[in-house]
Structure 1
Amino acid sequence: MATTVRWRRPFPSLAVSLVLVLLLHFLESTRASFALLQMSSSSPKAAKGLVVVTGGSRGIGAATCKLLASRGYDVAVNYQSGEGEARGVCDYIDAVRVEHAESSSWEYVGRAIPIKADVSIEGDVERLFDSVESQFGRPPTGLVNNAGILGPREVDVTELSKVALDSVMATNVYGPFYCCREFVKRVGTKKAKEKGAKGGAIVNVSSGSAYTGRPLLYAMSKGALDSMMAGLSQTLPSEGIRINAVAPGVTETDMVTPQMIDNVIPLIPMGRAGKPEEIAEVIAFLLGDGGGGYCCGAKIRAAGGRP
């Protein structure tokens, strides 16, 4: 009598299981990459523009980068020391790009690239703009001067050091000036005429401290920034460039402590601190997204009703 041999399918070995896991990971990565490639190659819409956001790794800067990318702008996320935060902003934007590509959305979501530079150093600013052009393949159309430092909160003027003063002014005043200068060189319709430059828009992030005078060094620097904007608003339009500013009130960022917020809440008619995303909306408007195209030399106070 013939004996029938039946083979039992063996359980997958550990090696086979590992191969399956790696294969699934590869397919997931390929899917995401294909989605981005499909979006960049088949989307009928191009980027609305390319915006350099200084101090773009956190707070108002990070919120601005995310908002602009969601509205179709490519963004250069500048940072000085927060590389992890800057890459986190870019990863967030990349994830949104993948999501839109997978959903077959025809809305263009901008690309984001982190670029390290200390805006208080003249040479770093030049390298920042060189890097923007080399990595994106074109000059920027917008600049957001957001990078800034607070400096000492309480200052006895008789003990104020030149080192402290220079540090705040270098970042909050010289930095925006260096950035404005490089921007005009590269996109001004006269300065860069041979390159076919079409101009652009600049937004300075000022502060209500320019009105209140506190903290002293920070307030001094923001007052100087406002004066720079007022002067440039008279000359830059001839280069096809608009310049404006937003003056946020107390906003929920890492520069502001909970105690500072509690202290000023009674002075704010709306009864709360601002959110970075709300300031980002004003910045986008002044850049010309959804309006703002006739604004030049304007400073919008976004402070919940506080003067």
Structure 2
Amino acid sequence: MSNSITLITGGSRGIGRATALYLASKGHKICVTWHRRQDCALEVVDMIRHAGGTAIAVQADIAQEEQVVELFNIVDKELGCLSGLVNNAGTLLPQASIEQIDAERLNTIFATNVNGSFICAREAVKRMAFRHGGKGGAIVNVSSAASRLGAPFEYVDYAASKGAVDTLTIGLAVEVAPQGIRVNAVRPGFIYTEMHADGGEPARVDRVKESLPMRRGGQPEEVAQAIAWLLSEEASYVTGSFIDMAGGK
């Protein structure tokens, strides 16, 4: 069994929830964060504990730097030396064309998806890097197929934020590789999660699935398994890499 201690931001639902449950089944001690859905986060923790695992839930708005710093301090105190970070927390707003996008909307999306990923990565590196007395570790950023496809007429702003996450993945992987830290990303697309409802179209995956080479949407558990592999020693020589998970698109 693993001795890993893994923090999953936005772990109360969707891909984050599936990842927390899967990693816990492999022996990881888990911290999940929640912003508004405490009930969902506590349900994840209860499921892990009921199965004999270790888990905590911490409220944190990833867009707020001071809350991120406190989050990592709580993990230090309650779980121990962090070995894995899954930068999963993200937000998107209802579908819009470029004419409908304003600075307030951009700031909201980028504050969580970009700034939050950077600050979480910073705090993880402070704990994992050899130069700080750490033992190394792994970071997995949850990007999106939208970073490649652009999400025209729907989420160009969200897609751009995930493009920034891709660039963070590439640059940070090189920067911290000598410190024993691997940085990779998954790029899911067309996954059955509640995020599509946030964008105003709960059935979006069903609408587009026939246009995908695989003719189906993906499940959060499929993404969770890819994330788990990137965190594991089985991926010990993999850094700065991406796993595209969008049914072939």
TM-score (norm 1): 0.77
Residue 294 of structure 1 corresponds to which residue in structure 2?
Answer: 237
1:209 counterpart = 2:152: no
CA-CA distance at 1:152 after TM superposition: 3.1
Do the aligned residues in 1 keep the contact of 2:58 with 2:71 (CA within 8 Å)?
A: yes
Do the aligned residues in 1 keep the contact of 2:82 with 2:128 (CA within 8 Å)?
A: yes
Structure 1 Cα separation of the partners of residues 236 and 203 of structure 2: 38
Of 129, 133, 137, the match for 2:76: 133
1:265 counterpart = 2:220: no
Structure 2 Cα separation of the partners of residues 229 and 282 of structure 1: 16
Q: Deviations over 1:115-168 (max 9, x none)?
A: 1111111101100000001111x221000000000123113x344211100000
Alignment map for 1:168-247 (pairs within 5 Å):
168-190=109-131, 192-193=132-133, 197-214=134-151, 215-247=155-187
Q: Which has the larger radius of gyration?
A: 1
Q: How many residue pairs end up in the alignment?
A: 242
- Partner SS for 2:24: helix
Do the aligned residues in 2 keep the contact of 1:151 with 1:217 (CA within 8 Å)?
A: no
CA-CA distance at 1:262 after TM superposition: 2.4
Q: Deviations over 1:160-212 (max 9, x none)?
A: 2111000000000000100000011112111x12xxx1110000000010111
Of 21, 25, 33, the match for 1:78: 33
Residue 62 of structure 2 corresponds to which residue in structure 1?
Answer: 119
TM-score (norm 2): 0.94
What is the identity, as a one-letter code, of the residue corresponding to 2:222? Answer: E
- Partner SS for 2:213: coil
Structure 2 Cα separation of the partners of residues 153 and 92 of structure 1: 34
Identity of aligned residues (%): 42
Cα RMSD after superposing both structures: 1.2
- Distance 1:258-1:164 versus aligned 2 partners, 3 A rule: closer
Structure 1 Cα separation of the partners of residues 8 and 40 of structure 2: 14
Q: Which sections of structure 1, spanning at least 5 residues, go unmatched?
A: 1-44, 98-109
Of 217, 225, 248, the match for 1:281: 225
Do the aligned residues in 2 keep the contact of 1:60 with 1:279 (CA within 8 Å)?
A: yes
Residue 88 of structure 1 corresponds to which residue in structure 2?
Answer: 43
CA-CA distance at 1:258 after TM superposition: 4.5
Higher RCO (CA 8 Å, separation ≥ 6 residues): 2
Q: Which sections of structure 2, spanning at least 5 residues, go unmatched?
A: none
Alignment map for 1:97-116 (pairs within 5 Å):
97=52, 110-116=53-59
Q: Deviations over 1:91-138 (max 9, x none)?
A: 1111111xxxxxxxxxxxx301001111111101100000001111x2
Structure 2 Cα separation of the partners of residues 211 and 229 of structure 1: 14
Do the aligned residues in 2 keep the contact of 1:153 with 1:216 (CA within 8 Å)?
A: no
What is the identity, as a one-letter code, of the residue corresponding to 1:202? Answer: I
